[in-house]
């Protein structure tokens, strides 16, 4: 097997020198930090230690479609109710609430298809490795014919408003002439994510609808992997995300298509000769937390090889020909979501080491290039039963309002010139329900978040307060209320001013409630840590363990572990702080930030200076 190692390492060197590779699919993109909050410890840190959050370079705002003079793609809107429109139907099953204007037969078929898809997906990926939430998802279904009629009405009104806005702008500054967009097109299917839930809007052509043709979109699978806590390693997310679109799930068995390796020449060579050269990277580098984060690891061929090898490892493990590798694989994935990957853990799970895995993957590659792999689903559990009922006015308002609220950030990011119409629509839907006397805490939560998304924190506050008083299950609501109270507390106060526990209690209480709900949100623990860093008293006995537990859940987010490290330092737990700063350094993507963490660790490890 020594010759095999020489073969693929030599292939890597030749390939990097001779070719430039364009990957078939985009690499994983890490989202920017969620929030930025001041974190100033009241107690003096050890001499020489200074921790400052890294600056955030926000991208410039995108040009509006009006400025770019092209067709505008907008999320669907439902402007008015009509007596001629089909009645709304409602169903709650699994982790989703459905609101549909399609026929009962189409709606039942659609919901059944969703249940079938998720059942089969869990054959491919264990349920505990996908994100879950105590807040049900929202799925809205509308017949395509209804959608077209709504498009006409909305398009006319929004085009009129857009053209008027452009005329007003041109009157103010004739040197910067802009033309209104000539066409609006509403996206027929769209998923919008919030911090603690998601919503999907679908237009269905009922005449051609076939439930067996539905699949889970690749970006849905990717989002559920990324949002999972404890956070999953990047190689696992990348590997599954690359393998999933090239697999079929609506037939028995699940079938993974043959692999395409790097270039067409590499693939053809492996098809001709199993001993042909292959570009692969060492397994320990595949699992490394900095596999792609440092400049020397960002050569296009290396990135492509890492991406494809991650998918190859997943495919090798799930291929029944390599049983019982799948059980070992998922055990390994669970372990290293909680602790650093190591060969010792790998051996515990698989019974052999990295060198053997390298050889097995190299030997498996020619097989994977030539033939598909099939996973028999075995005996599947029965689908849950559900009841389809006429939707109540409260259900219609709440679910429509949730969707319309989620449209606001989307439109603000992509087409802000149309934002007022979307804000007006969401407010009208939700406020009308409150005006009818609906006191559902979920409705107050949606209204509070709607006002926040619309930019009116003052209006949001009373709705959030009511939802929290009614103990709504909605972790983002508790965080947002705590954040508003925090901003009120620190407004106009010098950053080195400390607070008492009594002053911080209105912030701490909703944050503690948020930590008990699903999904756990990193911003909750960041704000909890920042609040205690501004406190003149010791950290509450119940809060420090919660903060430490969060560093395990969000191991790959340095913004969490570094703040908890500061709390540990404040409490005199130097060894624990050093360990957490090591985690922060391990997953910091900016080399300068990583170096700074390491410098702080060195300072903390140095013996104390003698007193003068």
Same-domain check for residues 445 and 532 = no
Mean pLDDT for 467-493 is 97
Same-domain check for residues 479 and 607 = yes
Q: How confident is the model at residue 25 (pLDDT cuts 50, 70, 90)?
A: very low
Is pLDDT at 45 greater than 70 in this prediction? Answer: no
Is pLDDT at 186 greater than 80 in this prediction? Answer: no
pLDDT at 165: 53
Mean pLDDT for 65-76 is 55
Domain-embedded: residue 345: yes
Same-domain check for residues 276 and 297 = yes
Partnered with residue 375 across adjacent β-strands are 254
Residue 338 lies in domain: 264-371
Is pLDDT at 290 greater than 60 in this prediction? Answer: yes
pLDDT at 53: 37
**Residue 474 CB partners (closer than 8 Å, separation 6+):** 135, 196, 442, 445, 467, 517
Domain-embedded: residue 329: yes
pLDDT at 163: 56
Mean pLDDT for 195-223 is 89
Lowest-confidence pick of 172-181, 424-433, 485-494: 172-181
Same-domain check for residues 481 and 557 = yes
Q: How confident is the model at residue 212 (pLDDT cuts 50, 70, 90)?
A: confident
Q: How confident is the model at residue 217 (pLDDT cuts 50, 70, 90)?
A: confident
Lowest-confidence pick of 80-84, 270-274, 340-344, 513-517: 80-84
Same-domain check for residues 612 and 480 = yes
**Residue 28 CB partners (closer than 8 Å, separation 6+):** 234, 237, 238, 241
Domain-embedded: residue 240: no
Same-domain check for residues 492 and 467 = no
Mean pLDDT for 96-118 is 95
Give the integer Cα–Cα distance in Å for 466 and 572: 39
Give the integer Cα–Cα distance in Å for 43 and 496: 10
Same-domain check for residues 610 and 532 = yes
Is cis: bond before 253, omega within 30 of 0? yes
Report which of 280, 275, 267 is spatially closest to residue 368, judged by C-alpha positions. 267
Is pLDDT at 461 greater than 90 in this prediction? Answer: yes
Domain-embedded: residue 96: no
Domain-embedded: residue 232: no
Mean pLDDT for 343-356 is 97
Indicate the residue among 422, 446, 471 that finishes a domain.
471
pLDDT at 296: 75
For residues 179 and 69, the answer to whether their CB atoms sit within 8 Å is yes
Three-class secondary structure of residue 376 per DSSP: coil
pLDDT at 44: 37
Same-domain check for residues 353 and 458 = no
Give the integer Cα–Cα distance in Å for 460 and 438: 17
* pLDDT > 90: percent of the chain: 65
More confident residue, 501 or 39: 501
Max mean pLDDT among 22-26, 185-189, 410-414, 442-446 falls in 442-446
Residue with structure tokens 């109270």? 485
Give the integer Cα–Cα distance in Å for 123 and 247: 13
Domain-embedded: residue 562: yes
Q: How confident is the model at residue 277 (pLDDT cuts 50, 70, 90)?
A: confident
Q: What Cα–Cα distance (Å) separates residue 90 from each residue in 96, 358, 387, 395, 473? A: 11, 52, 8, 8, 20
Evaluated on CA atoms 544, 549, 553, 557, the torsion sign reads positive
Same-domain check for residues 348 and 295 = yes
Joined together, the tokens standing for residue 252 give: 């028995």
Domain-embedded: residue 394: no
Q: Which parts of 246-289 are beta strand (E)?
A: 247-248, 254-256
Same-domain check for residues 430 and 353 = no
Mean pLDDT score of the chain, rounded to an integer? 83
**Residue 64 CB partners (closer than 8 Å, separation 6+):** 415, 416, 417
Indicate the residue among 452, 471, 490 that finishes a domain.
471
Number of domains in the chain: 3
pLDDT tens for 373-384 read 999 998 999 999
Same-domain check for residues 525 and 557 = yes
Give the integer Cα–Cα distance in Å for 24 and 244: 14
Lowest-confidence pick of 164-168, 355-359, 368-372: 164-168
Same-domain check for residues 522 and 540 = yes
Domain-embedded: residue 16: no
pLDDT at 589: 79
Max mean pLDDT among 38-42, 56-60, 474-478 falls in 474-478
pLDDT at 153: 41
Indicate the residue among 371, 393, 425 that finishes a domain.
371
More confident residue, 516 or 209: 516
pLDDT tens for 423-450 read 999 999 999 999 999 999 999 999 999 9
Is pLDDT at 412 greater than 50 in this prediction? Answer: yes
């Amino acid at each position: 097997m020594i010759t095999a190692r020489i073969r693929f390492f030599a292939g890597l060197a030749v390939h990097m020198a001779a070719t430039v590779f364009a990957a078939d699919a985009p690499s994983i993109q890490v989202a920017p930090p969620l929030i930025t909050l001041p974190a100033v410890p009241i107690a003096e840190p050890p001499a020489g230690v200074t921790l400052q959050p890294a600056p955030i370079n926000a991208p410039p705002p995108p040009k509006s479609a009006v400025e770019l003079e092209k067709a505008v793609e907008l999320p669907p809107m439902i402007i008015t109710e009509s007596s001629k429109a089909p009645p709304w139907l409602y169903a709650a099953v699994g982790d989703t609430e459905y609101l549909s204007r399609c026929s009962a037969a189409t709606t039942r078929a659609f919901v059944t298809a969703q249940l079938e898809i998720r059942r089969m997906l869990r054959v491919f990926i264990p349920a505990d490795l996908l994100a879950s939430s105590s807040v049900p998802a929202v799925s809205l279904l509308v017949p395509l014919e209804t959608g077209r009629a709504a498009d006409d009405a909305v398009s006319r009104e929004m085009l009129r408003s857009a053209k008027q806005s452009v005329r007003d702008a041109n009157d103010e500054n004739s040197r910067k002439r802009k033309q209104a967009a000539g066409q609006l097109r509403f996206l027929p299917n769209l998923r919008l994510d919030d911090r603690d839930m998601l919503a999907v809007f679908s237009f269905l052509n009922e005449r051609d609808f076939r439930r067996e043709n539905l699949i889970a979109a690749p970006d849905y699978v990717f989002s559920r992997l990324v949002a999972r806590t404890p956070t999953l390693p990047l190689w696992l997310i990348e590997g599954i995300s690359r393998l999933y679109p090239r697999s079929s799930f609506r037939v028995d068995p699940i079938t993974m298509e043959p692999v395409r390796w790097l270039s067409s020449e590499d693939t053809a060579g492996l098809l001709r000769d199993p001993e042909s050269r292959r570009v692969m990277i060492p397994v320990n580098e595949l699992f490394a937390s900095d596999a792609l984060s440092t400049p020397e690891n960002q050569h296009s061929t290396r990135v492509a090889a890492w991406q494809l090898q991650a998918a190859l490892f997943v495919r090798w493990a799930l291929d029944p020909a390599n049983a019982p590798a799948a059980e070992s694989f998922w055990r390994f994935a669970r372990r290293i979501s909680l602790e650093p990957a190591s060969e010792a853990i790998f051996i515990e799970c698989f019974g052999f080491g990295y060198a053997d895995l390298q050889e097995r993957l190299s030997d498996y590659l020619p097989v994977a290039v030539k033939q598909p792999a099939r996973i028999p689903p075995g005996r599947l559990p029965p689908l849950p039963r559900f009841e389809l009922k006429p939707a109540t006015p409260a259900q219609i308002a709440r679910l429509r309002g949730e969707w319309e609220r989620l449209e606001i950030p989307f439109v603000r990011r992509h087409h802000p010139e149309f934002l007022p119409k979307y804000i007006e629509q969401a407010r009208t839907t939700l406020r009308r329900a409150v005006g009818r006397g609906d006191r559902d805490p979920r409705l107050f939560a949606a209204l509070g978040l709607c006002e926040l998304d619309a930019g009116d924190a003052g209006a949001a506050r009373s709705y959030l307060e009511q939802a929290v008083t009614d103990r709504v299950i909605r972790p983002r609501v508790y965080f947002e209320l705590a954040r508003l109270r925090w901003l009120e507390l620190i407004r106009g106060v010098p950053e080195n001013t400390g607070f008492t526990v009594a002053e911080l209690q209105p912030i701490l209480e909703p944050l503690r409630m948020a930590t008990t709900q699903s999904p756990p949100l990193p911003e909750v623990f960041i704000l909890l840590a920042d609040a205690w860093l501004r406190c003149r008293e010791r950290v509450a006995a119940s809060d420090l363990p919660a903060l430490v537990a969060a560093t395990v859940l969000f191991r790959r987010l340095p913004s969490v572990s570094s703040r908890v490290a500061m709390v540990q330092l404040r409490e005199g737990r130097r060894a624990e702080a050093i360990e957490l700063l090591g985690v922060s350094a391990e997953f910091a993507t900016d080399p300068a930030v990583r170096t700074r963490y390491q410098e702080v660790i060195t300072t903390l490890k140095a013996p104390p200076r003698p007193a003068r």
